[in-house]
Amino acid sequence: MLSSLPIGKLGLGGLVPEETYRFIAILNSRTVMEAIAKKFNLQELYETKDIEKTVKALREQVNFEINEDQTISVSVSQTTEHLASEAEENVVRKRAADMTNAFLEELDQVNKRLKTEKARNNRMFIEKRYYENKNDLKIAEVAFKEFQETHGLIALPEQTEASIKAASAIKAQITVKEVEVAVLSQYVSGSHAELARAKNELRELNRKLDEMKTGAPDSINGNGKTVSRLFVPFNQAPELGLEYVRLYREVTLQQKIMELLLPQYELSKIQEAKDSPTVQILDEAVMPIKRTKPKRAILVLTAALLSIFFSIFIILIQDYVKTLEFDRNEDYQKLQEISHNIISDIRRIFGKTHSK
């Protein structure tokens, strides 16, 4: 939530992206720690009893730090034996660098696996919804087609408009015929042929208009197939129009969903198959030149202090011996005798030779 706010750093050192915390969590995970421990055989190297203690020892040797520029620094410490040779130190230096780079490799592998699993789950969900939509679209299309075939409807608005125009034309013809019949009735007898023809035409026009209002049964053509009516009956137009709109809307809706799901489905398949690196390494780990601890200055200072204390101790011993020699000769002789016996015993122990 904070990352979306335009507050900048505000003296707080900036906001760390969520991905950076995820990288730190992955690096600290037991999965990565165990992978490093097994790769470098650390259980034998650290002389630990089990992998649990090996992982604990390894965690004490690694450090993950988030820098001010929101990058991550990874460092690994390794310890040499006391008084190690230059060759032994180089081995440890190389192992420290290799372990650091191995952490970055494991970070990329685990993060890539997590992203692939997320993409796979996303793809499976979209795929399921996509096939459901395909089935729904098919059902909607079939229902719409059956409705059109049953009621002879291809395009309801256009057909309704055509029906109204045709009815208007027939109504106009009826009006003209009614006038013609009325005029003929004034001048000819009721049995006159022309008047009879006009009345028949008027009757047929009224029948056609009634059929357009209430509908007429479907006819059979010469091939025995049913010929649907072309015009929509006026008394059925509202009901048919409502059903037509519902079915047409369902087809359109499923088509829109298909248009949205199909690109997402294809993109999810690409994301799942994607195998490019997910971690960008700015600087690979190199062999360290200097030791990190103990500090050379501390070693020199400790050695100097020990030398001073040891020298003072020797001086005090020598002064004490001289005091015994001049003031307490009897004690001095005893001390000399004890020293001679100790030296003799040491020479006898270490001076023995073995021969076959």
259 shares its domain with 145 = yes
155-164, 191-200, 214-223, 331-340 — most confident range: 191-200
102 shares its domain with 187 = no
9 shares its domain with 73 = yes
Percent of the chain at pLDDT exceeding 70: 72
Q: How far is CA 247 from CA 142, 156, 161, 187, in A?
A: 10, 12, 20, 57
Tally of domains in the chain: 3
16 shares its domain with 128 = yes
Structural domain contains residue 287: no
71 shares its domain with 159 = no
Single-letter residue type at 317:
I
176 shares its domain with 89 = no
Structural domain contains residue 290: no
98 shares its domain with 157 = no
44 shares its domain with 117 = yes
Structural domain contains residue 85: yes
319 shares its domain with 267 = no
Domain limits for position 154: 139-273
* pLDDT greater than 90 at residue 89: no
pLDDT digits (tens, 9 = 90+) for 339-354: 777 877 777 776 654 4
Q: How far is CA 71 from CA 24, 103, 178, 277, in A?
A: 11, 15, 95, 17
pLDDT at 98: 94
Say if residues 84 and 90 touch (Cβ distance below 8 Å): no
DSSP assignment of 159-189 equals HHHHHHHHHHHHHHHHHHHHHHHHHHHHHS-
pLDDT digits (tens, 9 = 90+) for 41-57: 999 998 899 999 999 99
d(CA 49, CA 41): 13
pLDDT digits (tens, 9 = 90+) for 265-297: 888 888 888 777 778 888 888 888 777 766 666
Structural domain contains residue 280: no
6 shares its domain with 99 = yes
d(CA 96, CA 349): 44
Structural domain contains residue 356: no
Structural domain contains residue 285: no
Structural domain contains residue 106: yes
Last residue of some domain: 79, 104, 134?
134
Q: N- to C-terminal Cα distance for the chain? A: 84
- Mean pLDDT of the residues in the chain: 77
160 shares its domain with 65 = no
187 shares its domain with 313 = no
Structural domain contains residue 144: yes
pLDDT at 65: 92
Q: How far is CA 159 from CA 92, 164, 208, 251, 267, in A?
A: 89, 9, 17, 20, 42
Last residue of some domain: 110, 134, 158?
134
Residue with tokens 């009345």: 199
